[in-house]
Structure 1
Amino acid sequence: MKLLRVGAPGAERPALLTGDDVLLDLSGLTRDIDADFLAGGGADRVRAALRSGELRPIEPAAELPYGSRLGAPVARPGKVVCVGLNYREHAAESGMDVPEEPVVFFKASNTVVGPEDEVLIPRGSVKTDYEVELAVVIGSQARYLESPRDSRRHIAGYAISNDVSEREFQLERGGQWVKGKSCETFNPLGPWLVTPDEVGDPQALGLRLWVNGELRQNSTTADMIFDVDHLVWYLSQFMVLDPGDVINTGTPQGVALGLPGRPYLREGDVMELEIDRLGRQRQTAGQA
């Protein structure tokens, strides 16, 4: 299933996009797609309502997702946990060794915006960068999992994430990476949350990113150093993962930091991102 949220910021309506591109209203089942919905078996309730025919199209019936603003498919997460240097080719282009354990950092949860919302370049920034990533959304609490084999039952679904980064803030200003990761609008998410049954193997997904029509990133999740199951298990040893939490699983090669001339984002640049079976995003860079 494809779960999404449609509407103006702060007034999004929960919805389901069917295989026939019909947008069904979920507001009779839940007030939002959030931690309570995910923890309370919301996806199962949606499936039951879909089978019974009780879901109705959002009016007007012709209103499809790209005819209206999409919010992030999950209401503000409790936390956004990020994994750095998790693709072999990206580690190589960064001139860094392949890590022996996942590199973990956080983004502020209020960085999460809709998949087509404007991305704001911070004031004074000249090194704002893009990163297409597979996002994992947690569906049930995970703590001290016994092994990576236990991870899948805690995953609600997957989405596209743009882990926008300011490289000077991240690497040249001292302290932790969080400073270069938590500027406003720095985590477009969506267009929808796709449930695991529709995604299949999360390690067999192509992911791509264009800037102004130029293909910059083109790889596959098979290049991950630590796979999705390992990451969920690993993180659960250090923190409690709660429903609605988002894990950004790392980015492949092709970021501006690793390219000749370092073509960082400038005002007016257009980013387009896609991951197999997860849809497509598009953002324009503006100025804060």
Structure 2
Amino acid sequence: MKNLIIGLLQLFVIFVIAPLIKGIIHKTKCYLRGQRCAPVWQGYKDIYRLIKKEAVLSKDATWISRFSPYMVFVSTAVVACFLPVFSSYTLLSFTGDIIALVYILALGTFFLALYGMDQSSAFGGLGSSREMTIAALAEPALMMVIFTFALQTGSTNISEIFSKIHEAGFSQFPVSSVLALMALLIVALAENGRMPFDNPETHLELTMVHEAMILEASGRHLSLFEMASWLKLVIFLTLASNIFIPVGFYKEASVSAVIIGIIFYIVKIIFFAVPIAFIEISMAKFRFFRVPDIMTLGFVLALISLVLYYL
């Protein structure tokens, strides 16, 4: 029973922090531009406002448009159930769950692309085509990063990977991990539609990727898509923070350990989220035909990381 409560608490922390991280990134970008913007908790207001509104669908839309928003959100939420935040007790934990994580995320991407095409919109189909291209290029690099740490810890279980890395601490931080971090950063930016792969703030039709697919979404459907995208970003940040900053992960379940673990987790997530704002403010969006080049770089970095681990 105690383990179930800890698992639910960790899932709750991920859900609560997701809109906040989105607000922090946006606030940091506005600060660097010298602009005024909405407060960091604006995401909570947006979700509350949208979820009360009725979804409006195209007359040409099928059942896919009604089903896809829930499938995208549920698949992302299931992935969040795999992730340890401050303890190894999660709602879903089994051997091979790190591989399941990748393919459940891919399932959400698949239904998101279906939604874009089902709206009978030219821009939706364009965004879906681009999204699937990026996803196909990002998955090999992500799997290579995962295999690096699976071999390093001797397990494909996320909880065991995090636990063993935190037990070793910084004293056994291999050089290969630096290259793996760089590869994971490239994959995270691509999978979450951030600069330089996509501009999450634009509605210029010819350059949109993620926004093009959900251009026709409204009401509670839009709220599900937005929450799923914020959760997906936090999932990648959680992977990076708990692997590359092995602090704040506890085996015991005391109240003090839980509180300290949550505090460390929030600090680590913010530490990895702020550089995303610096990247987006300092780089222009790449031409789409340059995306395979940068994704190949991510795959090569992950491959070199895996090879260096054996050397």
Please confirm whether the aligned pair reaches a TM-score higher than 0.5, indicating the same fold: no
Instruction: Give me the TM-score of the superposition, normalised by structure 1.
Output: 0.25
More helix by share: 2
Instruction: Give me the TM-score of the superposition, normalised by structure 2.
Output: 0.24
More strand by share: 1
Question: Which is greater in Rg?
Answer: 2
Higher relative contact order at CA 8 Å, sep ≥6: structure 1 or structure 2?
A: 2
